[in-house]
Chains A and B, each alone.
Chain A
Amino acid sequence: MAEKIGKHIAIYGKGGIGKSTTTSNISAALAEAGYRVIQIGCDPKSDSTNTLRGNNYLPTVLDSLREGNKIHLDDISVKGFGGVLCIESGGPVPGVGCAGRGINAAVNLLQELNLFEEFKPDYVLYDVLGDVVCGGFAVPIRDGITDRAYVVSSSDFMALYAANNLFKAINKYAPTGGAKLGGVIANSMKPGYHREIVDDFVAKTGTSIAGYVNRSLDVQQSELYGKTVIEAKPNSAQADIYRNLAKHIAENEDLVVPNPLGSTELRDWARTWGDRIYDIENGVVGGVAEAI
């Protein structure tokens, strides 16, 4: 395989957890710092790059493939905020066809079109749909397409469950040249025990936190305007959070093969947290009575 042009980073996470928002803000922050960035949305919903390109229409790679005509890069890409090259793989309508195969085909096609040779990116971000439900969704972390993956997760059990599934996929493919894990992006952090839960999860799985992103009204407002926080509220504290996250991801070379928890182990771990949260909410004081 030819030497890879730029750093290729896959970003995974449970549906609705804020992957596209986070990825787009990272792309925008990297572009703002002067890097050449490509963001590829690997999701049939094809809305990964919306906030980078002001919600303008962009034909997806698979739409073009369906037409059967010769495809040019210009037809399936558009430059968004800061020159970020936006691409959406697209996919079938829900409930029909095979989206996993679609992602596979779209990524292959982009390589055939010499996308990376032509654009010469510093960073390529792949925003990948939800859980790694089948082989097709593991394409970006297989076969040397990316060499690092990040997972976006809140402190909710189902989000961590999805993260754990991704760890399983990385664990499987890393020994044969697949991507390793850069870290967990802790999203929608609120005051209280939320950080602690994610911290405990990364400690248990031998991974690390790439950054904490607080829940913020700035994100919601910017999205409603069809923009990233970096573009809409460049001076906000939230924009700085994304800038720091982007800087960490750009510079981080500490990649690991995670140790995913087994199903029972994960459930048991969650239950201990259930008990702890109950105690916190109800003001139960731990420890031995004499020590207080």
Chain B
Amino acid sequence: MSKVIENPRSGCVLHGALQTVQEIKGAIPVVHANAGCGVINQLVDSKSTSVASGVSGVGIPGTVAQERHVIFGGASRLREQIKNTAKIINGELFVILNSCESAMVGDDVDAMTREIVEQGEPVVDTLGAGFNGNAYQGYENVLVDILKGIPGIKNVEEEKDTKLINIFGIVPYKDVYWQGNLEEIKRIFEAVGLKVNLFFGTFGGVQDLVDAYKASASIVFSRWGEAPAKFLNDKANIPVLNVDTLPVNVDEEEKLLRSVSQYAEVSEEDVDAFIEQERDYQNSFISQVVAARNKNDLSKRVVIIGDEEQSYRYAKILNDYFAAEVASIVIVDAKAKDELHERNNSDILNDLAEKVYYSQDKKEIEGIIKSSNAELILGSSLEKGLEEKLNIPLLEVSYPIYHSFILNRASVGTRGVLAFVENYESRIEKYEDAEKTSLISSFKSLKAEDKWIDISQRGIVSKDLSASRRKQLYN
């Protein structure tokens, strides 16, 4: 019996592939689907779009398949669309994204791609149908397919660049701070003389996909980067370094850089110097964090809802900085272990949290939060309703975020984590101030003739207020 999922947040393969390609500078997605597939992508992400490729939403080239293209096949319509797109958009790479309908109809997209490549256009295709999986798989699939196609349309250098590193596993949009996080990773590696292929955003681009073949190593920061790294390992013998999460403090930065030095040319002295500088920077703020902890009780009982890498990362930060209790972690993007990936973080996650769940259903998540006695929710905007219903403050850190404008804010590395610390402290302070204010105002409303029993029944002094009563009092 199938199970109902309320508020699914993982999207489909096409959705993920589209989000991925539109953030590669110079790459132009061409969607072979009906019009809605492209438009819905814009609707779900209109709050956080940066769009390095220059095309997004209704501007995305697409075949806008009609019924006749389903019945008679849509390959010739696709040919027409690619040719027209290449005429009016100056792309370094055109990426044809297949859809559910073209996959079911069986359009020979590969043949169409070969035909256009023979005519001199830089085109690759990805055959994943939307129903093949979620958006995270879309990111992996499209990267593998693009990397497969690159040697056929670009000049790929075989000689390795001993200072170049591929960065995989930071999924555009699904990591809401992806742009800032990529920049932070770039900052860390460049500080010790290394270069990075980020692929996405301001500092990425099509050339990174070409240069990926000459990198000294691929670093994989989440399970969703395993497939492209494995592909490059098979094809170009590029070693793979799997790390658990993006770095959350100077110690993890150091560990990362020391691990990479096994594969890439990096001077130990440079690493030492950089780490010392980072440690000084981080420590300079620690006293302020301690002061904040003295002012407010920051060691809250927390429920984290997000994708695997982020949840793991935030749990570590909460432990490190605030001695917070992680009551539950709800992973929305993955199972503990799947057949396609090597990663299995269940033991580490179980060490960090009392309970670990794998779900994206709103109702189930609500039940988990209720049963956890949490004082704070780290989640997405989809938990906003629960914040109000359960009167537990929410800090929005995971996908999707509707109530915050994010450009290049990071949440990793020494700088990114400090930004998270600011947000965490601010959210708690704001909530507790509001609670104090409303409590004071409730007391002020008391009249001399009020009897204690009435006051008690009105719930003003009870710690155990019902959600509706709290709302009535505090809003």
Contact = CB atoms under 8 A, between A and B. Distances in A.
B75 A96 contact: yes
B68 A98 contact: no
A173 B147 CA distance: 46
Contacts of B68: 65-66, 68
A68 B69 CA distance: 12
A174 to B, nearest CB: 23
Contact of A66 (B72, B75, B104, B106): B72
B71 interface: yes
Nearest to B69: A97
Contacts of A93: 72
A101 B65 CA distance: 14
Contact of B73 (A65, A68, A96): A96
Interface residues of B, number: 12
Interface in B69-86: 69-75
Interface in A102-121: 102, 105
Contacts of B69: 97
A84 interface: no
A67 B106 CA distance: 22
A101 B70 contact: yes
A105 B74 CA distance: 16
Nearest to A102: B71
B67 A97 contact: no
Contacts of A65: 67-68, 71
B105 interface: yes
Contacts of A97: 69-74, 105-106
B75 A98 contact: no
Interface in A35-83: 62, 65-66, 68
A62 B73 CA distance: 13
Interface string A211-224: 00000000000000
B67 A96 contact: no
Nearest to A103: B71
Nearest to B66: A68
A91 B105 CA distance: 13
A92 interface: yes
Contacts of A96: 72-73, 75, 106
Nearest to A95: B106
Nearest to A100: B71
Interface in B45-95: 67-75
A65 B67 CA distance: 9
A62 B72 CA distance: 9
Sort chain A's interface into a size bin: 10 to 19
B67 A101 contact: yes
Contacts, number: 41
A92 B74 CA distance: 11
A96 B68 CA distance: 12
A99 B104 CA distance: 11
Contacts of B105: 97-98, 101
Contacts of A62: 71-72
Contacts of B74: 97
Interface string B103-125: 01110000000000000000000
Contacts of A102: 71-72
Contacts of B104: 98
Nearest to A68: B68
Contacts of A98: 70-71, 73, 104-106
Nearest to B76: A96
A68 B75 CA distance: 18
The residue among B69, B72, B105 with the most chain A CB atoms within 10 A of its own CB is B72
Contacts of B75: 96
A102 B70 CA distance: 8
Interface string A233-246: 00000000000000
A101 B106 CA distance: 13
Nearest to A97: B73
Given A97-B105, A98-B104, A98-B105, A92 B67 contact: no
B74 to A, nearest CB: 8
Contacts of B70: 97-98, 101
A66 B75 CA distance: 15
Interface in B201-243: none
A129 B99 CA distance: 27
Interface in B116-144: none
A91 B106 CA distance: 15
Given A97-B105, A98-B104, A105 B67 contact: yes
Contacts of B72: 62, 66, 92-93, 96-97, 102
A97 B106 CA distance: 7
A98 B71 CA distance: 5
Contacts of A99: 71
A92 B67 CA distance: 12
A179 to B, nearest CB: 24
B50 to A, nearest CB: 37
Residue of B71, B74, B104, B105 most packed against chain A (CB within 10 A) = B71
From A65, A92, A93, A98, name the one whose CB has the most chain B CB atoms within 10 angstroms.
Answer: A98
Interface string A145-161: 00000000000000000
B75 to A, nearest CB: 7
Nearest to B67: A105
A75 to B, nearest CB: 16
B80 to A, nearest CB: 15
Contacts of A91: 71
Nearest to A63: B72
Contacts of A101: 67, 70-71, 105
Contacts of A68: 68
A68 B71 CA distance: 13
A42 to B, nearest CB: 13
Contacts of B106: 96-98
A96 B74 CA distance: 9
B360 to A, nearest CB: 29
Nearest to B71: A102
Nearest to A91: B71
Given A65-B67, A65-B71, A97-B70, 14 more contacts: A65-B68, A66-B72, A68-B68, A92-B71, A92-B72, A92-B73, A93-B72, A96-B73, A97-B69, A97-B105, A98-B73, A102-B71, A105-B67, A105-B71
Interface of A: 62, 65-66, 68, 91-93, 96-99, 101-102, 105
10 contacts: A66-B72, A92-B71, A96-B72, A97-B69, A98-B70, A98-B71, A98-B106, A101-B67, A101-B71, A105-B67
In the A-B complex, list the 7 residue pairs whose CB atoms are closest, starting with the nearest.
Answer: A97-B73, A96-B73, A102-B71, A97-B72, A92-B72, A98-B105, A101-B70
